[in-house]
Amino acid sequence: MVLKKSQARKRTVKAKASPRARAESSAISGPIHTRRLGYALMMNLGTRPEKRCTWNCIYCPWKTKDQARCHPSAPGREEIIEELSRKLSESRKQVDSVVLAGISEPTVHPEFAEIVEDVVRLRRKLGARWLIDCISNGSALDKEKIRKACDSIDRTWIKLDCATNKLFKSTNLPASKLTTIEKQLELISKLRSPFIQTTFWRNSRDSELQNWSPENLQGLLEIYARLKPGCVHLTTLRPSSVFSKLRPIYYENLEAFAQRVGDLGIPVEVFP
Ligand code: SF4
């Protein structure tokens, strides 16, 4: 079943006037109208503008050499929850979702599981109906504590761009040499109900470094059929001068692929 295309709303609501430096180090941004998850508060468990991530995807706008360790100045658990409570109480409109994501891979934060617990507790205390989402590359799902935390929220969106190990290693660039796509899939399948987000791109200079290819599309279909995710979100890159050789995929092409995903009986949405 292909769900109706969501209308991406461009208007954003900026945080109330605060010094720029504070905004940059803030653990929570928004609420904003997001492309995929509605009107949302975004939790950034890393630091700005530096990224801390166990991968280094070729299209990621943020680069870092220290991939896997949380930055010492990343916000702590108490600070994050206090700020989330404040932002929720300041928001004039009901938010749809609270999203653990941001510039860094959220599971790199040493208190990820505890922060998730706090957010779940806060929602219960407020009697609120917003969803709790997490956007992750899934690299920490081998840790039971992280897996349980991901299973305790509404939707954990796992990044899955590549169906082959070669493409995965050369474009998502995982920090650990031991990581393989097979291992990743094994871990994702341990989640109670994974949600998948796939970003597509073409590479105008090197077709080996693009995931929009018949082989990869077929491989992804087989993986979706195996994982049976709650939903698949298909996205593409925004046109950018920073990665001029990496190109977005036309909406019509994404829609055609979404149809093939839908034919598997998997809910799918396209966000060009
Ligand atoms: S997983 Fe996300 S944050 Fe990490 S490198 Fe890839 S795009 Fe960037």
Residues near 188 by beta carbon (within 8 Å), at least 6 away in sequence: 138, 141, 158, 160, 194, 196, 227
Only one residue has tokens 């109208």, namely: 33
Q: Is 75 helix (H, G, I), strand (E, B) or coil?
A: coil
Q: Does the C-beta of 41 come closer than 6 Å to ligand 1?
A: no
Does residue 10 sit within a domain? Answer: no
Q: What CATH number should be reported for the domain holding residue 254? A: 3.20.20.70
Q: Does the C-beta of 179 come closer than 6 Å to ligand 1?
A: no
Only one residue has tokens 């925004």, namely: 238
Q: Does the C-beta of 56 come closer than 6 Å to ligand 1?
A: yes
Dist CA 214 CA 28 (whole Å): 39
Does residue 237 sit within a domain? Answer: yes
Does residue 8 sit within a domain? Answer: no
Q: Does the C-beta of 105 come closer than 6 Å to ligand 1?
A: yes
**Ligand 1: distance of its center to the CA of 82 in Å?**
26
Ligand 1: atom nearest CA of 199 is: 7
Q: Does the C-beta of 53 come closer than 6 Å to ligand 1?
A: yes
Q: What is the pLDDT tens value at each position of the chain, 272 positions in all?
A: 444 444 333 333 333 334 444 444 578 989 999 999 999 999 988 766 677 889 989 998 877 655 666 666 678 899 999 999 999 999 889 999 999 987 789 998 999 999 999 999 999 999 999 999 999 999 999 999 999 999 999 999 999 999 999 999 999 999 888 889 999 999 999 999 999 999 999 998 888 899 999 999 999 999 999 999 999 999 999 876 566 789 999 999 999 999 999 999 999 999 98
CA dihedral 197→202→208→214, nearest 10 degrees, is 70
Ligand 1: atom nearest CA of 103 is: 3
**Nearest protein Cα to ligand 1, atom 7:** 60
Alpha helix ranges (H) inside 152-188: 165-167, 181-188
Q: Is 252 helix (H, G, I), strand (E, B) or coil?
A: helix
Q: Does the C-beta of 60 come closer than 6 Å to ligand 1?
A: yes
Q: Which domain holds residue 235?
A: 20-271
Output DSSP code: residue 193: S
**Ligand 1: distance of its center to the CA of 53 in Å?**
6
Domain count, the chain: 1
**Nearest protein Cα to ligand 1, atom 6:** 57
**Nearest protein Cα to ligand 1, atom 5:** 56
Its pTM stands at 0.88
Residues near 120 by beta carbon (within 8 Å), at least 6 away in sequence: 132, 152, 153
Does residue 2 sit within a domain? Answer: no
Q: Look at the chain and count its residues.
A: 272
Does residue 14 sit within a domain? Answer: no
